[in-house]
Amino acid sequence: MNGKGRLGEFLQTRRSQLQPEDLGIPGYGERRRVPGLRREELASLAGVSVSYYTRLEQGQSLNASPQVLDAIARALRLEEAERLHLHDLARSSATATGTGRGRRAAPERVTEATGQLLEALAHVPAIVTGRRSDVLAWNRLGHALFAGHLDPGAPDRPADRPNMARLVFLDAHTRDLYADWPAKARAVVGNLRLVAGRHPDDTALHALVGELSSKSADFASMWSDHRVTACAVATYEMRHPLVGPLTVIQQTLSQGQGQGPDQGQNIVVATTEADSTARTTLALLDQVTPQHDPARQGNPGRLPLT
């Protein structure tokens, strides 16, 4: 689906999720043929003509102004991350060529500076993920907490790198790791939606979405919902198979936003409250987790991790 189609699908889906009575629109007891708002109702709320809004949904109106997009976002009651996503979709729609040809992104690698930061976080679970949620690196505790059942050296081999979205939806160990798995799953899907809006020509990302949609009914359902999430901080109750339950705060620290080798990468760290049972449990995990082989070398361009 090209940029025009993605914009229209997003608008149609979000419009269908709004109930007229929630917006003070009288229904007069009428029976509606489709769920949610009609196009003319949303156009009226946004202060644009019905014909213009219809053309926008159909991908026939390009270069919508930021002011119009913001008015539509307010009418749809979008949150900030969703408003920015709408702007991203509109930009990709305006530049869509209709050829359907995507670009192959440059290989992702962890910079030396990021490797040093990961080393400094030796006693805090931390992983580095690429923009498609591939695990590019992890420290010892990050591996132990999030994917202790996998080979600790997997991120060093691009062909074998774990992908956090695949793990959440297709891996039984990871699914059992989260007490509220649906909340974690929705966060993963919402983040992928954001990335897809920012990088509409990323063929590898589209392939990942297609794979997950075909293999997981849960993913397909959540993806079709068009929810967008910028989840920088979230609290999760985890059920670790070695040390038992613990509550962690997962914080996502965005790295490069320019054109460097770390563009779109994130460092995900898991912290616990001071003097909490979870802090003690995490310390126990640190004690029972074996040290990685110090002779094992990482990818070129980053330091070996402890």
What is the residue extent of each domain of the chain?
3-95, 112-288
pLDDT the model gives residue 21:
76
Question: Tokens 């009609």 appear where?
Answer: 38
Question: Tokens 């054109």 appear where?
Answer: 259
Q: pLDDT by residue (tens digit) across 274-291?
A: 999 999 999 999 999 887
Report, as an integer, the average pLDDT of 169-185.
97
pLDDT the model gives residue 27:
60
How many percent of the chain have pLDDT more than 90? 53
pLDDT the model gives residue 58:
86
Name, in order, each residue with C-beta under 8 angstroms of 209's C-beta and a sequence gap of 6 or more.
192, 196, 223
Is residue 189 classed exposed, middle or buried when 0-12, 13-18 and 19+ CB atoms within 10 A define those classes? buried
Cα distance between residue 289 and residue 216, in whole Å: 32
pLDDT the model gives residue 303:
39
The residue with greater pLDDT, 91 or 70, is 70
Q: Taking Cα atoms as reference points, which of 64, 49, 46, 47 lies closest to residue 8?
A: 64
Q: Contact at 8 Å (CB) between 228 and 82?
A: yes
Q: What one-character-per-residue DSSP string does the chain give?
A: --HHHHHHHHHHHHHHT--GGGGT---TTPPPSSSS--HHHHHHHHTS-HHHHHHHHTT------HHHHHHHHHHTT--HHHHHHHHHHHHHHHH--SS---BPPPPP---HHHHHHHHHTTTS-EEEE-TT-BEEEE-HHHHHHHHTTS-TTGGGSGGG--BHHHHHHH-HHHHHHBTTHHHHHHHHHHHHHHHHHH-TTBHHHHHHHHHHHHH-HHHHHHHHTT-----SEEEEEEEETTTEEEEEEEEEEE-B-SSSTTBT-EEEEEE--TTSHHHHHHHHHHHHSPPP-TT----TTSPPP-
Q: Taking Cα atoms as reference points, which of 103, 92, 101 lies closest to residue 8?
A: 92
pLDDT the model gives residue 225:
87
Is residue 178 classed exposed, middle or buried when 0-12, 13-18 and 19+ CB atoms within 10 A define those classes? middle
Question: In which region does residue 288 sit, left (phi positive, over 0), alpha (psi from -120 to 50) or beta (all else)?
Answer: alpha
pLDDT the model gives residue 300:
37
pLDDT the model gives residue 296:
37
Q: pLDDT by residue (tens digit) across 7-63?
A: 888 999 888 888 887 777 766 556 667 778 889 989 999 999 999 999 998 877 777
How many percent of the chain have pLDDT more than 70? 85
Output the pTM of the full model. Answer: 0.79
The residue with greater pLDDT, 101 or 14, is 14
Q: With bands split at pLDDT 50, 70 and 90, how would you rate the model's confidence at 297?
A: very low
Report, as an integer, the average pLDDT of 81-85.
89
Does residue 98 surpass a pLDDT of 90?
no
Cα distance between residue 268 and residue 2, in whole Å: 31
Q: With bands split at pLDDT 50, 70 and 90, how would you rate the model's confidence at 293?
A: very low
Q: Average model confidence (pLDDT) for the chain?
A: 85
pLDDT the model gives residue 167:
98
271 alpha carbon, distance to own chain's centre: 20
Does residue 102 surpass a pLDDT of 60?
no
**Most confident of the following: 32-46, 152-166, 287-301:** 152-166
222: amino acid identity, one letter: M
Q: pLDDT by residue (tens digit) across 190-247?
A: 999 989 888 888 899 999 999 999 999 999 999 998 888 777 899 999 999 999 999 9
Q: Taking Cα atoms as reference points, which of 103, 112, 151, 110 lies closest to residue 134?
A: 110
CATH code, 112-288: 3.30.450.180
pLDDT the model gives residue 92:
80
Report, as an integer, the average pLDDT of 178-186.
96
Does residue 295 surpass a pLDDT of 60?
no
CATH for the 3-95 domain, from 1.20.120.1810, 1.10.490.10, 3.90.960.10, 1.10.260.40: 1.10.260.40
